[in-house]
A and B are shown apart, each in its own frame.
Chain A
Amino acid sequence: MADGKHLKAHWFHILLSVADRDLHGAAIMEEVLDRTDGEIRLWPGMLYGSLKQLVSRGLIREVEAPEGSPTEGGRRRFYGITARGRAALHREVRRLERFVRVARAKRLGEERG
């Protein structure tokens, strides 16, 4: 499914979060929640279930915690995107772009005058 037609929405958002820097699970959850104005909420079970699978599919990998990152009392696993993940993300972005272009052509999503 991952390498197939398109990415599941929450996988897409996880990949997007780690696209430019390595993050731990809670930070990914926060970022997605903020970016989507609370619309997409990765519940803990869903989040870590997805992270586990994304790792097993080679789309992301566990990385060393960055220097000086706060541990907040417990060990945090950091995740970074892999080349394969970046490719999947890229494909998905292009796919979405195509839809947006079509919508724009139909003059949707513009300011209403």
Chain B
Amino acid sequence: MSPKAEARARRWYRVLLRAYPPPFRRRYGEEMEHCFIWLLRRDVARAGAVGALRCWLGTLWDCGLGGVAARLGRGEEERSIHGGWGMGMLGSDLRLALRALWRRPVFGATAVLTIALGIGANASVFTVVKSFLFAPLPYERPDELVILWDENPDLGWSDTDISPANAWDWRERARSVADLAVHYEERFTHTSEGQPELVAGLRVTPNYLTVLGRAPALGRDLRAAEVGEGIEGVAILMDGFWERRFGRAPEALGSTLLLDGHPYTVVGIMPRDFVALDARPDVLVPHDLHPRDADRSGHYAEAIARLAPGATVAGAQRELAEVARELEVEHPDTNEGWTVKAVSARADLVGDIAHQASLVLMVAVGFVLLMACVNVANLLLARAGSRGREMAVRSALGAGRGQVIRQLLTESFLMAGLGGVLGLGMGWYGYRGIVAALPSTMPPVFEFGMDGPVVAYTVLLTAAAAIFFGTVPAVRTSRYGAEMLRDGGRSGRSARAGRFGSTLVVVQTAVAVVLLVGGGLLMRSIAGMRSQDFGFDTGNLLITRISPPADPYDDSEALGAFWDAVETRVRELPGVTAAGTTQAHPLGGSNWGWSFTIAGREGEGERTARVTYASEDLFETLGFRTTSGRPLSGADGPEDPPVAVVNETFVSRYLGGQDPLTAGIVADEGEDPVRIVGVVHDVVERSVEGRPEPAVYVSLAQRVVRSRSLLVRTVGEPSAILPDVQRAVWSVDPTLPVYGVDTMDELVRRRLGGFAVIGYLMGIFALLSLLLGAVGIYGVTAYAAGQRTAELGLRIAMGADPSDVVRMMLLQGGRRALLGLVAGLILAGLLSGAMTRILVGVSPRDPLTFASVALVLAAVSLLGLYLPARRAARVDPVRALAAE
């Protein structure tokens, strides 16, 4: 245990010691602290974090019970502090508590269920969040791993793929980086035996596995020299591929894979638990071009670095930015404006959105539990009257007040315990539901499970809940019992209980407002993303990918002919209205960019835009809207002057008022500019939540691309036509795998997935809080009305109109609700700022959401007030007065 951790533990223990009465604390506190630290050190040394948790749980129990007992034991030295908590006593307390619950099954079930809902929500969210925020990544010393991204603030590029040549310079020059590996994904057609199969490859530098601190389970790692052109092909298999393709046969080692027609010898096989960061490859193969020989302007790879001992992410970031500035000077043509961003591997893999969502959801479930506790406290308080009588009898029979409180607290712990067990069960289903709903784009490095820490957390939470909702009612009830003995219960109890109940109502209303605002904002954000203008028609659109290999498609002519034939055959299918191809379809996750200058504006420096290579019919297939000029056309042949279409953001950001149809793009110095012939409406390309970026569309007839997406616009359900499309492709070449099958609607749904999960969860929690809040308000008002039966009866007997009584009660309750509402709106305004990253297109202080929540809550509160008030107004004055 570090000295810092120990100092912190001492501080917390001193807080816990406050449970004891001051004389006891003064006399023994210092020695107790000494004992505690000794125990904690021992537990940490033996069982690490689990040991520490156990020690804290035990200590919490020790201080809680010991403290309460020592305080109540004033003057009755005979009743021992812990002696009274011997197993025998605990057993009898438990028996009594069970009997008390059993006697009022509806009350007991309501309380247990309420707690279970709160605990279950917390357990399920915590199970997921724990993995995101705390579980170690499956690599050696994972905190030293950082992921590096390129950035070019001048061009508005962030989190961009890196250029391997630059990355290799970072590796050589930055002292805070111990080592750095470059990797990128590449798909191969595997044709060794049987059916041709598409294989997901990860091109890595040979130090990739050493940087991660992992090694193959069988065979060897890549050798330092095994990179670049002309070397013999070697490959390391991932466990899943080994199982699928070789049935885990050890002979796989040393065998040869034919990837895109090239032989690769299998030299290693990775262990089952290895995951390649956010990639899901089948094989690892070395780069076929040494990073230092790569073209600096090509940003297509990712870099992972291991920090040198003692280096920090921020320090590395500073040093790398320095190196990037040197490279800008050395390579002004390619590196101007480019700098580096370093992010810890965990932060990068979790991502800002999931991170913020985790925190927001944890706060939300915390609030749900708070509301559940408040409701149970309310229930217990409302029962104080009847229990008070019981406790009075018990006191009369010789039970001390401490015993009575202990008895009541045992009941609370019992209810919380039952609720906790039930909640843990609910949480198990809950977390599995959340995990199942997580978008498939989540990196596979996270493993979710309800393990020891989750159970411990739940136990701790349950205990805290029991103390929270049990203490005040227990103390009140016992006091009432005592008063009952003295004066038959006509003292000021009801006023006090009422005041406490009112405070609870204010808290509940405020919390419900916060949760409803959070849920409402997210719902609006998701609805906005779903209904936004994508710039194309997402319905009835089938997507597939095809990668014709270099053999036999070895030149652009052969490739062009292949793709033309595919498009033509598919277009002729019945039920197909249009078909087009592109190197990357919208939302397909492509990051292809183009650096260029605008002809006549070279002085403004280099510009960058997303580039999409489109076949003639792509625009028609996707339903792009041309706002000026013309779309790409088949008339723009390979021999004709090159042309391009750009989007509206391109025009507004780069052309500064110039007529786009007179502008040209200079991609390579000395070459003729690419003429802009048309402008299309912005299309959602990269993500459903991103802002539009400048984009250029170039004709595939003028620049051939090998692997493409085939997009098919259908009359009916797009997936129904897939077999026909496959047959059409195979009629051109029967050996080609058709992969990456998707529909655009499905893709959009998945892209919204992460946001939708957060949104639905927040929605559920908000509704839960509304329900709990309504029940709470109803409960408190009904209880207050019950307490005032006699007074109301008197008023009515004196001639008050029942409607006056209703109005009076509404006014009194309404003031509390209003107070809670205003407090909640203020709190929500303060807290919603934390949601900026997960809100898209909605301000965190969106007035519409705030107003709707206020309205809904006002309506619910009014109903919760009105129902019991009306019943109270119907009281028969004679009976009400007679009861007194």
Contact = CB atoms under 8 A, between A and B. Distances in A.
Contacts of A26: 31, 34-35, 38
Given A41-B39, A43-B62, A45-B63, A72 B83 contact: no
Interface stretch (A15-23, A49-57, A82-90, A97-105): A49-57
Contact of B35 (A8, A10, A25, A77): A25
Contacts of A53: 77, 80-81, 83
Nearest to B28: A48
Interface in B36-63: 36, 38-39, 42, 58-59, 61-63
Given A44-B59, A56-B77, A24 B86 contact: no
B70 interface: yes
Given A8-B83, A53-B80, A53-B83, A46 B34 contact: no
A1 B83 contact: yes
Interface in A61-113: 72, 74-77
Contacts of A44: 28, 31-33, 35-36, 39, 59, 62
Given A53-B80, A56-B77, A46 B66 contact: yes
A76 B28 CA distance: 10
B34 A74 contact: yes
Given A43-B58, A56-B77, A30 B31 contact: no
A74 B28 CA distance: 11
Contacts of B24: 48, 52
A60 to B, nearest CB: 15
B619 interface: no
Nearest to A43: B62
Nearest to A10: B82
Nearest to A29: B35
B31 A45 contact: no
Contact of A45 (B32, B38, B86): B32
A100 to B, nearest CB: 22
B30 interface: yes
A43 B36 CA distance: 8
Contacts, number: 81
B161 to A, nearest CB: 55
Interface in A1-49: 1, 8, 10, 24-26, 29-30, 33, 41, 43-49
Contacts of B69: 49
Given A41-B39, A41-B58, A56-B77, A48 B83 contact: no
Nearest to B58: A43
Please report whether the interface of chain B is mostly helix, strand, loop or mixed according to DSSP. helix
B385 to A, nearest CB: 34
B709 to A, nearest CB: 63
B120 interface: no
A44 B31 CA distance: 8
A29 B30 contact: no
Contact of A49 (B36, B38, B59, B81): B81
B34 A45 contact: no
A24 B32 CA distance: 11
B81 to A, nearest CB: 3
B80 A74 contact: no
A30 to B, nearest CB: 7
A20 to B, nearest CB: 21
A29 B38 contact: yes
B56 to A, nearest CB: 11
Contacts of A48: 24, 28, 31-32
A52 B84 CA distance: 14
**Most chain A CB atoms below 10 A, which of B31, B59, B83:** B31
Contacts of A25: 28, 31-32, 35
Contacts of B66: 43, 45-46, 49
Contacts of A43: 39, 58-59, 61-62, 66
Given A26-B35, A49-B81, 14 more contacts: A1-B83, A26-B31, A26-B38, A30-B38, A41-B58, A43-B39, A44-B31, A45-B66, A45-B67, A46-B82, A48-B24, A49-B80, A50-B83, A52-B81
19 contacts: A8-B83, A10-B82, A26-B38, A29-B35, A33-B42, A44-B35, A44-B36, A44-B62, A45-B62, A46-B82, A48-B24, A49-B66, A49-B80, A50-B80, A50-B82, A53-B80, A53-B81, A56-B77, A77-B31
Interface of A: 1, 8, 10, 24-26, 29-30, 33, 41, 43-50, 52-53, 56, 72, 74-77
- In order of increasing CB-CB distance, the 6 nearest A-B pairs are A45-B66, A49-B81, A43-B62, A44-B32, A48-B28, A44-B35
